Amino acid sequence: MKYSLDCEETFTQTYMFWLSRFIRNKITTLSNRQVKDKDRLTQILHELSIGYKEIEELKSTVKEVRNIGINSIHVYFIPLGKLFKFMSNYGPKSMKEIDEELLSDFLATQTSKLSDATKKNYRIALVTFFNYIDKQNEETNGNTYRFGIELKNWGGLSGKSGQKLPSFMKKDEVQKFIQAIDSYEFSNKIAARNRLILKIILYTGVRVSEAINIHMKDFNKDEDAYIIQVRGKGNKPRVVMIKELIIGKDLNEWNEIKTCQNNLLLCNQKGNELTQAYISSIVEKILLSVGIRKEKNGAHMLRHTFATMLYQKSKDLILVQESLGHADINTSRIYTHFDKDKLKQTTDIF
C-alpha cells in the first residue's frame, strides 16, 4: 500500500510516519538468523506499521530490536534520527523541502568528526531512506513525488578505503586492564560472570555479539584449554581457544550460581541474554578506574587489542584473519599498520 508524501498534519508527524515504516522495512530485509524472541519481533513490526509519534520512543524500540538479534538496524536509524533533530532546527513545513543541498549541509555539519566508514554509512542510510519513500509514496491523483537523492558529489569523504585505524591498548595498558578485571568491585552475584566474559573477549578476540551468544554445547574442555565454537557474521562458525588457567576459577564460580535459559553460557540475573551495551559499559568503567582513556572505550576495543597484539607477535595475517573470522583478508590488513619492527626500518633509511 502506498501513502501520500505529506500524509500527516505536520512535518514532524510525517517524518516519523515514514521513518517508522522505513525501519520496519529494513528489519524485514536484514538477516534474522540471530533473532531470539520471534513473538516480540512480530509485535514490534505491528507497532511500526502503525507508526511512532516520538523519536525517543522509536529509538528505544530500535535498541530492543538490536537486543532481539537484528544487529545492523542501528546503522540506518542513528543517521536518520540525527537528521530528524537537524530538521527540527531547520523548521520545514513539508517533506518536499528536503533536497540534496539540505542533506549535504546535514552531512557536513553532523559527520565532521566521524570516520570515513561511518560517513559512508550515513550517506547510505540517507540515500536508502529517500529511495524507499520514492517507491512508496503516491498522491490521490496517482502521481509520485521523487526525491532522487544520490549524494554522489558530497565531499565529506577523505579517501577510498573509508577505514579508520582502530583504538587498541598497548602491552602495558593490557596488563593494567587484566589486573583491574580481577580487582574491580562487582556485585558478588555477577562478579565471576563479568570477569569471565571480559577475559573471553580479550583473550580470543571474539565479537561481543558472539560472546553473549555462546551456548554450553559449544564450550568444551580440551586438556588445559577450552575450545569455543562461535557464530560470526552471516552465521559463519569458527573455533577459538582460551587456556583454563585464565578463566577456570571464574568459570567454576559462575557455574555454581548461574540460571541461564536456552543453555546459554552467560546471562543476566533473569536468565536472559546479556546486551552489548552492558558489556561495553563494564569495559569503560574498568578502563577509567585504571586511568586508561581511548577514543573508543567500548568492548569492541578489546577485539582490536587482541588482533593488534596477535599480529605483532606472529606477523601472520592469515592467522589474524582466521582468528577474527574476517571473510576478506583485506579487512585484517589494517592491523599491519601497528608493525613496529617494520616501522623501525624506516628510521634507518639514511
Catalytic position from the list 122, 226, 311, 335: 335
Q: Considering the candidates 21, 258, 300, 304, report the single residue annotated as catalytic.
A: 300
**294 flagged as catalytic:** no
The question of whether 215 is a catalytic residue gets the answer no
| Unique residue bearing C-alpha cell 554522489 | 152
Distinct helix (H) and strand (E) counts, the chain: 15, 3
Q: Which of 190, 203, 306 is nearest to 250 (CA)?
A: 190
Of 24, 199, 258, 303, which residue is the catalytic one? 303
From 40, 233, 238, 296, active-site residue? 233
Counting other chains too, the contacts that 87-93 makes at CB distance below 8 Å and 24 or more residues apart are 87/11, 87/15, 88/12, 92/11, 93/11
Concerning whether 303 is annotated as a catalytic residue, the answer is: yes
Is 195 catalytic? The answer is no
d(CA 160, CA 330): 14
Residue 196: what residue type? L
What are the grid coordinates assigned to 144, written together?
A: 509520485
CB atoms within 10 A of CB 56: 9
The reply to whether 300 belongs to the active site is yes
Active-site option among 207, 231, 258, 304: 207
Q: Is 64 exposed, middle or buried (0-12, 13-18, 19+ CB in 10 A)?
A: middle
Residue 231: active-site member = no
For 223: left if phi > 0, alpha if psi spans -120 to 50, otherwise beta; the answer is: left
243: cell is 587456556
Options 195, 231, 258, 326, the catalytic residue: 326
**Cβ atoms of 156 and 103 closer than 8 Å:** no
Closest CA to 209 of 190, 192, 189, 234: 234
Looking at the annotation, which residues are catalytic? Answer: 207, 233, 300, 303, 326, 335
